[in-house]
Amino acid sequence: MSMKKLSVIAFGGNALLKSGQKGTIDEQEQNVFETCQHLVPLIKEGHDIVIGHGNGPQVGNVLLQHEAGFRVYDLPKQPIDFCVAETQGSIGFMIEQQLRNVMAEHGIRRNIVTLVTQVIVDKGDEAFKKPTKPVGPFYSKEESEQLVKENEWIFHEDPGKRGWRRVVASPRPLDIPNWPAVARLAKEGTIVVTVGGGGIPAYIDDNGKMVGIDAVIDKDLASSLLATKIGADEFCVLTDVPNVFINFHQPGEKRLGKVSLQEIKKHLADKQFAEGSMAPKVLACIRFLENGGKDAIITVAEQLGQPDAGTIILP
């Protein structure tokens, strides 16, 4: 058993798909390859690594494919949990393949495995009354209104003014049934790709059966819970900005470097971070540290492994 540093790294959506891209396999593979290049310093240092990832654009696209298949060919539409499972498999395969390519380039030999992972939520979670999690592409106001009529979907305007996006319930992750397997594999030195897209949402019914549910779990909160369960030393959230800011895009904008848990909690309480973008990332880091984690980092992939990279939150 290795006594090395165990790191859980949550890939942001832009690790897979950059804004303005169509989402072709070539684009996604290139993006993943570039992101995986930034893991090399950690792998060379001998870190044990678990990778979580988002699936926001991809799961939205899969839902649209089901929609189109239903309209054109009368194929049955599948629910969100099924679509999350599809994207876990497809994105996991891309990460695994491209990370193998990166390691081959650097002469590194490590096993990598992708686990399709369910995550347990509470069916009575308040989130089901108030959907907030964006999925799928951006639409114009007119397109979104048409889709509301057709599907009874709920849309919110993007805070960055990029258009309107469908929102779905994002319940709090409570348990990850296969976490012991993830822990064992990771501590044996296998790189594990898991809790993709926040995990496949399921709940335990009154008879003790696992049942899928229409929701998307926040991938940072799910990765944070996993990091806690497996006793990770560090939790790293990769996003598209190198640091967390307060007064973002406003007068008095300030970049956060090293911050204490108390300070970041105060900023979160003061509503400094946008819901649906930075707030869940910060909350995920807070939960990890409150449950015994040593440090949490929010940054861009390029800065991984650099000692002063990004916003570092200390307990």
Catalytic machinery residues: 13-14, 133, 219, 281
Q: Is 2 helix (H, G, I), strand (E, B) or coil?
A: coil
User: What token pair was written down for 25?
Assistant: 């396999």
Which residues sit opposite 8 in a β-bridge? 50, 235
C-alpha dihedral, 170 to 239 to 26 to 83, nearest 10°:
-10
- Cα separation, 205 vs 301, whole angstroms: 39
- Cα separation, 39 vs 20, whole angstroms: 25
Q: Environment class of residue 307 by beta-carbon count within 10 Å: exposed (0-12), middle (13-18) or buried (19+)?
A: exposed
Q: Where are the beta strands (DSSP E) in 178-225?
A: 191-193, 200-204, 210-212
CA angle in degrees (0–180, nearest 5) for 287-93-20: 75
Contact assessment for residue 227 and residue 294, using Cβ atoms and an 8 Å cutoff = no
DSSP states of 17-29 as a string?
A: --TT----HHHHH
User: What token pair was written down for 31?
Assistant: 């993006």
User: What token pair was written down for 28?
Assistant: 């996604």
Give the strand order in the sheet containing 234-238.
Answer: 112-114, 191-193, 48-53, 6-11, 234-238, 295-299, 311-314, 258-260
Q: Is 53 helix (H, G, I), strand (E, B) or coil?
A: strand
Name, in order, each residue with C-beta under 8 angstroms of 123's C-beta and a sequence gap of 6 or more: 203, 205, 213
